[in-house]
A and B are shown apart, each in its own frame.
Chain A
Amino acid sequence: MQEGNQVCRPAEARGAAAWHRRSVLLGAAGFGLLGAPSILRAQAAFGSRPIEVVTHAGVGGGTDITARMTAVDAAAALGTEIVVVNKTGGSGAAALAYAAQRPKDGHTVLLLTQTHLLTMLRSRTGTQMEDLVAIARATEDPQVVMVRADSPLRSADELASIGKERSLRFGITHVGSVDHVATVGFAKAAGIRPPTAVPFRGGGDIVVNLVGGNIDVGLLNFAEGEAQLRAGEVRPLMVLSRERMTSLPEAPTARELRIDFVSATTRGYAVMKGVPEDRIARLEEGMLKGLRGPTFSNYLKTSGQALDSVAGRAEWQAQLEAFSNEGRQALADLGVAR
């Protein structure tokens, strides 16, 4: 009955979990007799409970599906069940608050996106970036600057020249969102007038309004506009990644066009600070196995994302910190920082 909870329990993992649980229990009992430090008894043995992956996204979106696709193989690698918990509300604030009140024993993992970082920067939560420890990055889906097939913006040059004459209409998801920050950042880097940001409920709505001619430009993920790209209804002007995308080999990167701007929809796993180091290491190992397993790899491939989206703890931590710094500046520019 618990909505949004999904249990992955491969047969072999069940056996391993039971064996592991027994050995850990025996070990713990032994230590207890020897008068071990209380911390060992206070924390549930790792893998003795299902691991909760907490996401701020509702059931069915790209973020939720990322969690579920990771869980399939990660559950086997970690030897326990993985349950996806959807704590929607407050643009990640509810998910952060929930994770913060759970025991720091490694059984609660956050699926973090840039949205959480912006929410923390707007100080809607007690949790801040310093309170989080990165585990692994799951997706890094570059944004693509798309226009309608018959748009007068045929090239990056025309985008720049027309964008200097009038304020272009960009489709975004709500004000102060990751998209909005990216749109403002892109306009600044491209040297065009501040765009008119038209907010929509999601990427699908932006695509519809792009094809329908209600907006001039959309910053979209490849998968969001794939059907329209293939049908020749929208054109990619440039991709906002460092390298060209394998799924759109002809589209130049913004950097090739001397627009120094990179933006991607990034999602990855993290835990609250305070989880013991050995458990963080095991979580990283297990989550990476899940992310490099056949199910998730296939998901990345079919949604047009690169396999090197998956990255370990060190790279993901550095990226999170960089995001946090950029985001602070961007929110100040938008005038929505609190």
Chain B
Amino acid sequence: MEAFLAGMAILADPFALFMIVAGTVIGITVGALPGISGSTTIALMLPITLGLDPVVSLAFLGSIYCAANFGGSITAILVNAPGDPSASATALEGYKMAERGEAGMALGMSAVASAIGGIFSVVVMIVAAPLLSRAAYSFGPPEYLALALFGLSMCAAVGGDSAVKNLIAATFGVLLATVGIDLTTGVERYTFGFYDLTDGVSFVAALIGLFAVGEMLDQATQQMGKPTLLKMDAVRVPGRAEFRKCNRSIWLGSVIGTFIGILPALGATAAALIGYNETRRWSKHKHEFGHGSIEGVAGPEAANNAAVGGGMVPTLALGIPGSATTAIILAGLIVQGVRPGPHLFNEQPRLLYAVFASMLAANILYLVIGLGAAKLFARISLIPAALLWPAVFVLSVIGAYGANQSMGDVWLMMAFGILGFAFRRTGFSPAPLIMGLVLGSMVEESLKQSILIFGDDVVGGFIGRPIALVLFAITALGLLVPPVLRATARLRQPQAREV
């Protein structure tokens, strides 16, 4: 408790507080800009923070990390360009809401859900990090295979006009995931000799193309009538009714996000996608999904921000970073003389609690900024399309180039833009494609790793893994139960009428 208070005392230090506020503002800004991510910013800031007190520098980096994940949702909602890959699920529903003139509602809900998810995961991290970090060890390739299949099993239900179209898009995504050097054989697949493809299809380029460029092309074909403009006072932010509706999605997203964040091989993007799937599965308003569901904003936003605190668990408790961002924060910790590991929680509690305190503060700060500025940000969607979309396009090109500093990625983005446009015209959704792209390579890699690990007895190997078996069973139930229920309901109905 003493250490907790000493850690919290960081918030009373004016300089430290200034750095946390600065980190939050920087984080929201870079998070919102496609192409410059939180991880890049933290890498750029790392050498600068070396001269600072370790506690202050970690508080600064931690607050950028928290805020950047929220910032990604702003551009996702307003212009369909996810500022961060983890905001792609948010774009699916949030942009549809903005098109209806409910940008303020989506932004406000994103801020609240993000903050709740973020704070939930930080609290979990404070209370149970050393304990929960053990979960990372119980997840080997067979368990990841089961989890990735569980995520993929929902792809037919999410997104476009029909289950068949969704499956086609998802299969295409899985196919795209095979591009690049194969991890287990070292063979190049579908790279056509381009260096840009050896590490696989650039995720940032694909997302920006599918969402932002696809939307721009679509807008370009529709620019006939006068754009409808909304007045400032017409911008509504969410009220009690909306929060009551999203309550369940937010908590579901928070728990899923924290859990997935703890697993080093999965990050905020996977957390948001699985959060989106589950929000839809447990929602009472399934029909709204795909047409601008506010729950579809709340669930994934809570999940991707909860993955931030979750991601800190293995980083601090095991010294194993789950993402590029946590890898840099880990390097920052090590250079400052902090040795991560289970003992960290006993040896340097003051520093640890200062990190917690700063992450809590950052979550509250971006909530205030996000809610306060929601009405203002929402005005962006009122900019005439002829001015807005070219500007978005310029940002998209810079964003696609920036991630790997390669022109190849820009061409890739253009190709995905055309694909995104074609999708829109033919009733396909990018959602299943992204799911296939994110989870497809994990299915393939973890299956091949499992086979290598199990050797000759693959079936026996899987039977000996209870966690994997449970996940396989849940996946099977999720696929089989709805059709069975539907069939029995159809059988019962006529009988009920007769009685």
Binding site for B on A (CB under 8 A): 1-6, 8, 58-61, 64-65, 68-69, 71-72, 85-91, 93-94, 97, 169, 174-177, 196-201, 204-205, 207-209, 211-215, 223, 226-228, 230-231, 295, 298-299, 302-303, 336
With an 8 A cutoff between CB atoms, is B449 at the interface? yes
Q: Mark contacts of B308-329 with chain A using CB atoms, 8 A cut-off: 1 yes-contact digit, 0 otherwise.
A: 0000000001111110110110
Contact between chains at A3 and B37 (CB < 8 Å) = yes
B47: which of A58, A68, A197, A215 is its contact (CB, 8 Å)? A68
Residues of B within 8 A of A295 (CB): 47, 50
User: How far in angstroms is the closest Cβ of chain A from B70?
Assistant: 20
Chain A residues whose C-beta falls within 8 Å of the C-beta of B325 in the assembled complex? 60
B324 pairs with A4, CB closer than 8 A:
no
Q: Which of A64, A196, A298, A303 contacts B452 (CB 8 A)?
A: A196
- Pair B339/A176 contact, Cβ less than 8 Å: no
Q: Are A72 and B452 neighbours in the complex by a CB distance under 8 Å?
A: no
Total interface residues on B, CB under 8 Å, equals: 61
A59-B324, A227-B342 known; 13 new pairs, CB 8 Å cut-off, are A4-B405, A59-B40, A93-B198, A174-B181, A198-B452, A199-B184, A204-B322, A207-B320, A214-B453, A227-B320, A230-B341, A302-B337, A336-B186
Mark out the residues of chain B between 166 and 183 whose CB falls within 8 Å of any chain A CB in the assembled complex.
181-183
Chain A residues in 8 Å Cβ range of B139: 208, 212
Complex Cα gap A144–B339 (Å)? 19
In the complex the two chains form, is A68's CB within 8 Å of B43's CB?
A: yes
**Are B404 and A86 in contact, CB atoms less than 8 angstroms apart?**
yes
B327 closest partner in A (C-beta): A60
Chain A residues contacting B495 (CB-CB under 8 Å) are none
- Contact assessment for A65 and B331 in the assembled complex, using a CB-CB cutoff below 8 Å: yes
Residues of B bordering A, CB below 8 Å: 33, 35-37, 39-40, 43-44, 46-47, 50, 136-141, 181-186, 195-199, 264-265, 317-322, 324-325, 327-328, 331, 334-337, 339-343, 398, 402-406, 445, 449, 452-453, 455
A138, chain B: closest CB distance, angstroms: 15
CB distance from B400 to the nearest CB of A (A): 10
Q: Is the CB of B335 within 8 A of A298?
A: yes
Is there an interface contact between B137 and A64, defined as CB atoms closer than 8 Å? Answer: no
For this complex, 24 residue pairs linking A to B, each with C-beta atoms less than 8 Å apart, are A3-B402, A4-B405, A6-B44, A8-B47, A65-B331, A89-B196, A90-B195, A93-B198, A169-B453, A174-B183, A175-B183, A197-B452, A198-B453, A201-B445, A209-B140, A212-B138, A226-B341, A227-B320, A227-B339, A230-B341, A295-B47, A295-B50, A302-B335, A302-B336
Bound: A72/B33 CA distance, A: 27
A10 to chain B, nearest CB (A): 11
Min CB distance B148 to A, Å, is: 14
Cβ–Cβ contact B264 & A205, under 8 A: yes
A199 contact from B183, B198, B336, B398, Cβ within 8 A = B183
Are B343 and A230 in touch, CB under 8 angstroms? yes
Q: Is the CB of B43 within 8 A of A231?
A: no
Considering the chains assembled together, what is the distance between the CA atoms of A184 and B321 in angstroms? 27
Residues of B within 8 A of A231 (CB): 341-343
Complex Cα spacing A61 to B342, Å: 22
Given contacts A6-B44, A59-B324, A303-B334, contact A204 B402 (CB under 8 A): no
A3 touches B449 (CB 8 A): no
Cα–Cα, bound, A215→B455 (Å): 11
C-alpha spacing A90/B193, complex, angstroms: 9
CB distance from B150 to the nearest CB of A (A): 19
Cβ-defined contact, A227 with B328, below 8 A: no
Complex: chain B residue closest to A229, CB-CB: B341
Contacts of B186 in A (CB 8 A): 174-177, 336
Q: Contacts A68-B47, A89-B195, A214-B453; is A3 near B405 (CB within 8 Å)?
A: yes
Closest Cβ of chain B to A67, distance in Å, is 10
Q: A208-B264, A212-B138 are in contact. Are A6 and B181 (CB under 8 A)?
A: no
| B43-A6 in contact (CB<8A) | yes
Bound-state Cα–Cα, A64 to B248, Å: 42
Do A64 and B136 have beta carbons less than 8 Å apart? no
Closest 7 CB pairs of A and B: A227-B319, A227-B341, A175-B186, A3-B402, A89-B195, A90-B195, A176-B186
A149 to B233, CA, bound (A): 65
Quick one: which of B328, B398, B453 contacts A215, CB cutoff 8 A? B453
> Taking the nearest CB of chain A, how far is it from the CB of B494, in angstroms?
53
Query: Do the beta carbons of A1 and B398 come within 8 Å of each other?
Result: yes
Give the distance in Å from the alpha carbon of A200 to the alpha carbon of B453 in the complex. Answer: 12
Residues on the B chain within 8 Å of A213, using CB: 140
Contact B327 A3 (CB under 8 A): no
B198 touches A91 (CB 8 A): yes
Identify the closest chain A residue to B134 (Cβ).
A211
Contact of A69 with B35 in the complex, beta carbons under 8 Å:
no
Residues in A with CB closer than 8 Å to B335 are 69, 298-299, 302
The answer to whether B50 and A89 touch across the interface, beta carbons within 8 angstroms, is no
B71 to chain A, nearest CB (A): 15
Q: With contacts A3-B37, A69-B335, A212-B140 known, is A86 near B449, CB below 8 A?
A: no
Most-contacted residue by chain A among B36, B317, B318, B319 (CB, 10 A)? B319
- Alpha-carbon gap, A226 to B341, bound state (A): 8
Known contacts A60-B39, A68-B43, A72-B50: does B402 contact A2 (CB below 8 Å)? yes
A94 to B341, CA, bound (A): 36
- Let me know if A198 and B50 touch, CB within 8 A: no
Contacts of B33 in A (CB 8 A): 1
Of B35, B319, B322, B453, the contact of A226 (CB 8 Å cutoff): B319
With the chains together, A64 CA to B50 CA distance in Å?
A: 16
Closest to B321 in A: A204
Q: Which B residues lie within 8 Å of A336 (CB)?
A: 186
**Minimum CB–CB distance for B142 against chain A, Å:** 8
Query: Which of B43, B181, B341 is in CB contact (< 8 Å) with A64?
Result: B43
Docked CA distance A291–B140 (Å) = 38
Give Cα distance in the complex from A197 to B317, angstroms: 28
Residues B199 and A89 in contact, CB atoms below 8 Å apart: yes
Contacts A88-B404, A89-B406, A198-B453: A208 and B320 contacting too (C-beta < 8 A)? yes
Partner of B319, one of A169, A175, A228: A228
Q: Which residues of A lie under 8 Å from residue B452 when comparing CB positions? A: 169, 196-198
Question: Contact partner of A85 among B44, B183, B405, CB < 8 A?
Answer: B405
Highest count of chain B CB atoms <10 Å: which of A3, A91, A230, A231: A3
